[in-house]
Amino acid sequence: MSVRILLTVACLSTVALAEKPTISYTPTSSGEEDRPVMTRIVAGAQGTDYAFKLDFDKIPWGADCKTHCANATLFIDADNNKATGLKLADDKAAETGADLVITIQGTRTLDEGTHKPILKVKLSAYSETATSVEEAEQIAELDPVNDSERVLSSDTSVYLLIDGNAGNIPTGKMMRVIYHPPGSKPLSGTAKGLASPTSQRVELFKDGKLTNPVVKKKSVYEKF
């Protein structure tokens, strides 16, 4: 594993250690035909990125889940303000005010004539004129192969670093995360936003402990 990926893992793991779960959910059932659902969501700001650790009740992608892999969606109200972003007719709806949509999909891709499992993370943003959840405009699609510094998966967990500058979405000291589990009411929780005074603190692991290292020149990392 390269130094870049190790540092990314450290940054993402920091969020999971430092923050309490933003959302916790216990599925009523989990049969073989049920898609993986998120049971624990940890969100926070990591520099200029939104960082997430998403725990599923079973492995969200790969050969084992076949055609019943994860297809989960998170709505992010980046400034915790229902007056910006998505404007549903019901201003009390959980998704009202969402600025960003993150969809996590376990799917398959055709590679040299062979279908291979892959994890895709689709990012979409709402404009100020959006009035339905379907009006989000896709701005990026990430996967662990081409975006290994932003998308990582380990067992039943998925780690994400989402560029806070993507989609020209607003920022605030707090953000709101909304998750609507299948067959359940929507759940929401708040976490530190990009404008939080502590969001600029970068913490890495060193010898198994958290530290705040001196910023090094980019050329040091570009060697790897």
The number of residues making up the chain comes to 224
Q: How far apart are CA 164 and CA 23, in angstroms?
A: 21
What local confidence, expressed as pLDDT, does residue 31 receive?
A: 72
Q: Which amino acid is at 210?
A: L
197: helix, strand or coil: coil
The one-digit pLDDT tens for each residue of the chain (224 residues) are 444 444 455 555 555 545 589 999 998 877 777 899 999 999 998 888 999 999 999 999 998 888 899 999 999 999 999 999 999 999 999 999 999 999 999 998 877 778 889 999 999 999 999 999 999 999 999 999 899 889 999 899 999 999 998 888 899 999 999 999 988 999 999 999 999 887 554 443 334 343 443 333 333 323 32
Q: What are phi and psi of 135, to 5 degrees?
A: -90, 10
In this predicted structure, what is the pLDDT of residue 197?
Answer: 83
For residues 71 and 49, give the distance between their C-alpha atoms in angstroms, rounded to a whole number. Answer: 23
Sign of CA dihedral 143, 147, 149, 150: negative
Letter string b/e over residues 181-202, b meaning 16 or more CB atoms within 10 A of that residue's CB: beeeeebebebbbbbbeebeee
| Separation of alpha carbons 182 and 201, rounded Å | 36
